[in-house]
Amino acid sequence: MGTLHKTKGDQISNGVKIAVIDYGMGNLGSVVKACNSFGADTRIIVNAQDFDTADKIILPGVGAFGDAATELKKRSLDKLIKDKIKQGLLFLGICLGMHLLLDSSQEAPGEAGLGLIPGQVVRFKDEGIKVPHIGWNQIEKNGDNPLLKAIEDKSYVYFCHSYYVCPDDKGIIITTTDYGAKFASIISKDNIFGIQFHPEKSQKTGLKILENFIKL
Amino acid sequence: MLTKRIIPCLDVKDGRVVKGVKFKELKDAGDPVESAIYYDSEGADELVFLDITASSDKRGIMIDVVKRVAESIFMPFTVGGGVCNTEDIRDLLNAGADKVSMNTAAIKHPDLISATSRRFGSQCIVIAVDAKRREPQEGKPPGWELYINGGRTPTELDAIEWIKKAEKLGAGEILLTSMDADGTKNGYDLELTKAVSGAVKIPVIASGGAGSVSDFYDVLTKGCADAALAASLFHYRQLSIAGVKNYLSEKGVSVRI
């Protein structure tokens, strides 16, 4: 069993069980706190055997691609994620957690990602732009998606990254963001969602997106 | 479009905000979490916490502060001050900091930049630089000298050369303080900021010298800074963040309002 995180003032549980994957490389406090504030019952999963039951999985974004991919494998979390996604659990990858869904990344050549979304993670070309892309930028919607319920087009969200995903199937891109060129800031394929920015750091807009995910 | 950032900086000593002024909105101006919530509501784009705790055995207090802030506000923040090694960075990131800034330790051990940027990603490694204009002297090039130990110790190194090296090693951002401008309220050092911004392809946060709304405009336009930081100006409510951002927006600078 994972650790049950509950603090005073959290909403009464609405019964949605969220497993937040912890691969030992960064903080999950903001993500956990945000989920709990929407009534979710959030557990932190450090190893595959910690996983008991969950309705949804969140893979937050911290660290660099190579080390993160290695850690996931070491903890058998790669297999767990693939199995649970196959079983139909809703999955959300944030920043690096989104990158890990793809086949590979220029950040760590030769290191395999989860391969759940065909495509590559590439680095911004620093021609006329500063890399990393750090700060508040806008998301432009490509049509409707339940994750974007009540989110206005061109809302500002917080980015902090040097790499972005290039999925083979452009049809899964549900928002783009302009930085030098347009890149995929949210993708959605079947039960998998990936977000390039940090919803847990994007104040009202970000929290609404997390709430949408929890209530899907 | 990526917006320019306005960043208040809070000095924290033994877990308490230093120079905290008691606004009517704040019950406890010394509480970092309350101050963070206040700046969040004011529209700050990020926060910087500078730990000025002198004794190293009290540094655990800062980890608790970082944890409480991360669980209370949903906005990005950087933590710096006394960061010495990879473990310090890991602990601060684990506690919830989005970025960690290093100064003296990175200059003494530049390989710390490459090791930590590889491990945690460049985007969370900020290099803080204290630069002071060199007195014109025969035989010495003009420019800015790099200082360490909170601006107390000159290094004889050229600040811009160091910044270029830090970028090459994997730094993701530069927090640039002009020691000449700091505390003067006469405006940021535009020449220094522009020189640094032009020398690297990573974002530059300008610090030191802000006294009026037009100073922010100048450093974000003429100075080519990506973000502007101020401390006492916001603490003492001489300017509000919303006021600064409204002014910038009216002048055509892209900011998040």
pLDDT(B24) > 80: no
Q: Residue B107: which CATH number?
A: 3.20.20.70
Higher pLDDT, B5 or B19: B5
Partnered with residue A121 across adjacent β-strands are A105, A165
In the predicted model, is pLDDT for residue B21 greater than 70?
Answer: no
| Residue B119 located in a structural domain | yes
Share of chain A above pLDDT 70, in %: 93
Mean pLDDT of chain B: 92
Q: Is the pLDDT of residue B25 over 70?
A: no
Helix axes A29-37, B60-72, angle to 10 degrees: 40
Q: Regarding beta strands B47-51 and B99-102, do their DSSP bridges make them parallel or antiparallel, or are they unpaired? A: unpaired
CA-to-CA separations, B25 to B20, B49, B74, B237, B245, in angstroms, rounded? 12, 20, 19, 12, 20
In which band, very low, low, confident or very high, does the pLDDT at B153 lie, cut at 50, 70 and 90?
very high
- From B19-28, B150-159, B245-254, the region with the lowest mean pLDDT: B19-28
Whether residue B88 is contained in a domain is answered as yes
- Number of structural domains chain B divides into: 1
Helix (H) / strand (E) element for B150: namely none
Assess whether A160 carries a catalytic annotation: no
Of chain B residues 59-88, which have a CB less than 8 A from chain A? Answer: 67, 70-71, 74-76
Mapping DSSP to helix (H, G, I), strand (E, B) and coil, where does residue A150 land? coil
Residues in chain A: 216
From chain A, the residues in CB contact with B47 under 8 A are none
Structural domain of B48: 5-250
Q: Is residue B146 part of a domain?
A: yes
Domain assignment present for B257: no
| In a domain? residue B82 | yes
With beta carbons under 8 A apart, name residues in chain B contacting A27.
70, 93-97
Q: With 50 as the cut, is the pLDDT of residue B22 above it?
A: yes
Q: Would you call B11 a catalytic residue per the annotation?
A: yes
B255 within domain boundaries: no
pLDDT in tens, B47-70: 999 998 877 777 789 999 999 999
Buried/exposed code over A149-175 (b: 16+ C-beta within 10 A; e: otherwise): eebeeebbbbbbbbbbbebeeeebbbb
Cβ atoms of B210 and B193 closer than 8 Å:
no
Q: What is the structure's pLDDT at A65?
A: 93
Site of tokens 């190579």 = A66
ipTM computed for the complex: 0.92
Q: Mean pLDDT in chain A?
A: 91
Q: Name the token pair of A33.
A: 């706190």
Q: Residue B188: its pLDDT value, please?
A: 98
CA-based nearest distance A189→chain B, Å:
26
Q: pLDDT tens digit string along A125-182?
A: 978 899 999 999 999 999 899 999 999 999 999 999 999 999 999 999 999 999 999 9
Say how many C-beta atoms besides its own lie within 10 A of residue B29's C-beta. Answer: 17
Facing B256 at nearest CB: one of A7, A136, A207:
A136
B256 inside domain: no
Amino acid letter for position B101: S
Least confident range of A59-68, A131-140, B110-119, B234-243: A59-68
Nearest residue on chain A to B67, alpha-carbon basis: A29
Report the pLDDT value the prediction gives residue A7, as an integer from 0 to 100: 42
**Residue A87: is its pLDDT beyond 90?**
yes
CA atoms of B45 and A136, how far apart (whole Å)? 8
Confidence band of A4 (pLDDT split at 50, 70, 90):
very low
Contact A130 B203 (CB under 8 A): yes
Contact between B123 and A62 using a beta-carbon 8 Å cutoff? no
Q: Is residue B77 part of a domain?
A: yes
Secondary structure (3-state) at B10 = strand
Domains and CATH numbers, chain A: 3-215 (3.40.50.880)
- Considering only residues 59 to 88 of chain A, which have any Cβ-Cβ distance to chain B shorter than 8 Å? 62-64, 67
What per-residue confidence (pLDDT) applies to A30?
84
pLDDT at A127: 85
Is the per-residue pLDDT at A114 higher than 60? Answer: yes
